[in-house]
Amino acid sequence: MDLLKTRSQLFKAAVIIFLIALSTSNLLWAGEGDNKITIGETITIKSEVLDEERQMLVYLPAGYEGASAEYPVLYLLDGGYHFHHVTGIVQFLSSQGLMPQTIVVAIKNVDRNRDFLPTHVEKAPTSGGAEKFLTFITDELIPYIEDNYRTQPYRILVGHSFGGTFTTYTFLEKPGTFNSYISISPVLHWDEQLLVTQAETALRSSYSNNKYFYMTLGDEPPYIPAIDMFTSLIEIKAPENLEFTYVHMKEETHGSIPHLSIYNGLEKLYDGWTLPQAKYEEGLAAIDDHYKTISEKFSYEIQTPEYVINYLGYNYFNKEEIEKAIEVFQENVKRFPESANVYDSLGEAYENNEQFELAKENYAKACELAKEDDPNLKVFKENLKRMQKTSTD
């Protein structure tokens, strides 16, 4: 049987299909025969702090329902405006291995002047509620999300315009609330450059965990003096453990700048996330070291993903190093015992090593664990049926 070569070729094709599928598979069909698709869900929280109901749009990564993994969370201001394009960015970058799969929580507006602005001024009659809005986020929203979804202890805050003002305010006022901040065209000249003045004393000499602050501005001359003063303060104080980037996108307008800023900001935040192809030649220990390194950068444990270990196994498989492939697949089973796919891959390796009983056991386990809507269930069943026939011949 030349099953080894055939399976290896199929796997190469499957990897390409997998990457494409990741970028589209979270567009969940509402039902068979229904042409509607949905990219998220709406949740409502009755806020005691704000004394009103608040709506959020929540995007869950592809495969969330069938997995046990935990995910970072991106909190998005002006959520009703930006949910669609930002979830597309997150979906695309994660599908390319440029960032981790991430939950997006988009906060819909009620009164953005009230919620985003830290002080009251007459020209904006409802302004001045940022402190209360931040309390809502820290005391009600974040606990709700972390109680109801599988989250990692890593949070990103993204805001544009007055949302960028609030993002900067949060960084200065309660920097530990989020790990990373993307502030797009922030109105730092608000109330006679209030936040610039606050930064003079609020910026710390060092932060306990690594912080990331990415700020952008388009072709917006009135914003420049305050932003230049703010960036100069950060350069002078040079806080330890703060990675600060400011990009003046002169070709962008106030309206066009959010999408590119978020894409570039996330790409820069996760610089070094991608596993170099050469690591596959060095083996699992080198791959684990890569994820230990980025765990240190992001200040939480980042486990080597199941699909990465599986890819390594098939790398050995493709080179006809079956014993090494079996060893890697066994390790994947040990680390991800609830995954149907890891048992199926181990079954393939055993089958190609003519260890048919072990192959049958693992194919059976894959069928047992796979959910009815698992697109691979049919393949798992066919593999098991083939082994059952082999054992009776």
Q: Give which of 253, 233, 239, 243 is closest to 207, Cα–Cα.
A: 239
| pLDDT value of residue 34 | 60
| pLDDT value of residue 393 | 59
What is the average pLDDT across 237-255?
Answer: 97
Span of 9-18, 142-151, 281-290 with lowest mean pLDDT: 9-18
| pLDDT value of residue 392 | 63
Q: Give which of 44, 74, 49, 77 is closest to 59, Cα–Cα.
A: 74
| pLDDT value of residue 259 | 98
What is the average pLDDT across 277-285?
Answer: 95
How does the average pLDDT of the chain come out, rounded?
Answer: 90
- Reply yes or no on whether the pLDDT at 33 is more than 80: no
- Beta carbons of 330 and 324 less than 8 angstroms apart: no
What is the average pLDDT across 372-377?
Answer: 85
| pLDDT value of residue 13 | 39
| pLDDT value of residue 144 | 98
State how far the Cα of 299 lies from the Cα of 226, in Å rounded to an integer: 32
* CATH 1.25.40.10 assigned to 278-392: yes
- Reply yes or no on whether the pLDDT at 226 is more than 60: yes
Spell out the residues 6+ positions from residue 161 whose beta carbon is closer than 8 angstroms to its own. Answer: 78, 184, 185, 186, 187, 254
Q: Where are the domains of the chain?
A: 39-269, 278-392
The proportion of the chain whose per-residue pLDDT surpasses 90, expressed as a percent, equals 83
| pLDDT value of residue 219 | 98
The DSSP annotation for 124-170 comes to BTT---HHHHHHHIIIIIHHHHHHHS-EEEEEEEEEETHHHHHHHHH
| pLDDT value of residue 108 | 98
- Beta carbons of 241 and 206 less than 8 angstroms apart: yes
| pLDDT value of residue 63 | 80
Span of 11-15, 200-204, 277-281 with lowest mean pLDDT: 11-15
More confident residue, 24 or 186: 186
Predicted TM-score (pTM) of the model is 0.86
Q: What is the CATH number of domain 39-269?
A: 3.40.50.1820
What is the average pLDDT across 319-347?
Answer: 95
More confident residue, 97 or 56: 56
Two domains, one topology: 39-269 and 278-392 = no
What is the average pLDDT across 309-320?
Answer: 95
Spell out the residues 6+ positions from residue 393 whose beta carbon is closer than 8 angstroms to its own. Answer: none
